[in-house]
Amino acid sequence: MSIDPVKFFASIQAHISRQSPVAEFRPHQQSFETLLGTATTGDLSAQAVPREENGLTRAENLQLLQGLFDSNQEASVDSLSLLLRMNASRIETPSTVSQKLDMYASAAQETQPSLLTSTKNSRGQIDKLIDGVAQEVGLAPELIRSVVRTESNFNPSAVSRVGAQGLMQLMPATAQDLKVTDSFDPQQNLLGGSRYLKQLLDKYEGDLDHALAAYNWGQGNVDRKGLGQMPQETRDYLVKVRQELTKQTA
């Protein structure tokens, strides 16, 4: 709790000027109670004051205010000076308030889950996006899920050692060709990757092995070398996608 020293001193001075040193406050018990109430309650909504500190502050102010209303004018002046110094030391500067706000904001960030993680990138939301993309592109949602599981394990932030990004692991050049501006956005990545997979299936007349090999190894390699020269990584990739597809359709 803090008291505005300027306003408080002005009110005391005005009161003293109207009364004699001996009887200045005793006939005006109501004024004392009003002033005491103002000093000991205050607006605490904007301050994080611990309960025990608040109680101690009220006790200190009560004692000092009683001294102010003593018949001894010298004692009143000394008490007033002490009260003003005490409350001035408790006045929070803008920098102090800013530091407290930063502290509370940091604590909130540590305790609150990320909205992006809990909603947009959750497995349930990704599954809904896959269903919508599958209908728009004309692919089985089970195939898209199998590719996503094999490529990124449903991690929208995944990045491979060669720079492929997002759920369906789009290379930057491929994403640009597909008009994907943000490969880490689940909706854009799923739509771009599914369209690319559909193009490959159409090119290879529905041959899933050729389409998947081209998706993983590149169309140029498949066209020039054929499936017989696939690297082991691509062979393992085809096996994993087919195993996932079997689980999805079982």
| DSSP H stretches of helix in 112-231 | 115, 123-137, 141-152, 172-177, 186-203, 208-217, 219-225
* Cβ partners under 8 Å of residue 123, min gap 6: 154
C-alpha R_g of the chain: 37
Please tell me which residue in 92, 151, 233, 244 is annotated as part of the active site. 151
Active-site residue flag, 151 = yes
* Cβ partners under 8 Å of residue 201, min gap 6: 139, 207, 208, 211
Alpha-carbon distance 183 to 187, whole Å? 9
Helix, strand, coil tally for the chain in percent (to 5): 70, 0, 30
Cβ distance 178 to 118 under 8 Å? no
Q: How far from 39 is each of 7, 49, 79, CA to CA, in Å?
A: 11, 15, 14
The dihedrals phi and psi of 20, each to the nearest 5 degrees, come to -80, 160
Active site residues: 151
